[in-house]
Chain A
């Protein structure tokens, strides 16, 4: 157990629907990152939050949004789902010591989304 908890583990839904993925970071970690893993695109960085504020954005679609709450858990909202959104979505957390230059990310087990 990495200490990063993601729910749900599996989710099957239909095109056009909306889903929410949840992540609880490891205790003491202030940063949360979301990554999408698909067969054709590999691991793509979506977005990062630090202590409740958005810090960095990657290849995140406008149909997707995220937030980090005061208790530091984060949610990734995916709307108007398309077949191509089927993927494994990972959350990772870190202490976020940027000055050290080598922040280690701890990953959750992922949420597998299937869009039919």
Chain B
């Protein structure tokens, strides 16, 4: 079956602009995660959804970052007033049951490379 998909694969924007990054999880997966990864580092947790609700958004760096998952499937990560420091690869992952199953295997998408000029 289809894996996790993310669009766009690359996004170049100017400082101060607004961007939206989209994640399509594997069908039937209730848990969805967003991470960002800088060069040479491991993925950094941003937010975790169980169904439609954000169960843990403690990784969002500040209030310029927001994510939604209105129907419990597709999720959008929104970044307002982008800054150069936001440049990174944004990764999305989904898992079948997430915390409801004591944390299960996460399937990652290919990521969106965001560059803020």
A and B assemble together: no
Using a CB–CB cutoff of 8 Å, the interface residues on chain B facing chain A are none
Using a CB–CB cutoff of 8 Å, the interface residues on chain A facing chain B are none
